Amino acid sequence: MRIGELSERTGTPRRLLRYYEEQGLIAAGRSPNGYREYDERFVDRVAQIRGLLDAGLPTRIIKQILPCLDKPRIIHFPDATPEMLATLELERDRLTERIECLTRNRDAMAEYLEAVRGDNRPDTARTPGDRDGRAGAV
């Protein structure tokens, strides 16, 4: 797919896609006319990159952990510095706190919706974890 389609499918501006390529996070082939061509797998890769950037990781660290996203197996990284590991641990802990906060907010919204609706209306957007065995509305 060309850069415009990847941009549309991921909601990522073309400028950022070119930047990701510059940083070595994604790689484009080139068509005979010189246009960038991206493999289908980059739709998910761009979403992963954006998520890691949103979590506060710099591109230099994202580049180092990208192999873990491709291969769900144990890989030895000889260039993993103590600073990088400390940064990843800090960001992991920060993500855990954000997830817990989002979960509390989701549960509060579910309770509010149940109270407002009088719990008479079925909700199709429920997820596991609600107190009464049903999932919480999102």
Same domain, residue pair 22 and 65: yes
Query: C-alpha angle 124/9/32, rounded to 5°?
Result: 155
Q: What is the pTM of this model?
A: 0.60
Residue 116 pLDDT grade (very low, low, confident, very high; cuts 50, 70, 90)? very high
**Average pLDDT over all residues of the chain:** 83
Same domain, residue pair 62 and 89: no
Last residue of one domain, picked from the residues 45, 76, 107:
76
Same domain, residue pair 72 and 87: no
Residue 129 pLDDT grade (very low, low, confident, very high; cuts 50, 70, 90)? low
The DSSP bridge partners found for residue 30 are 36
Q: Please state, in angstroms and rounded to a whole number, the distance separating the CA atoms of residues 15 and 6.
A: 12
Q: Does the pLDDT of residue 137 top 50, yes or no?
A: no
Same domain, residue pair 5 and 60: yes
Number of domains in the chain: 2
Mean pLDDT of 125-129: 54
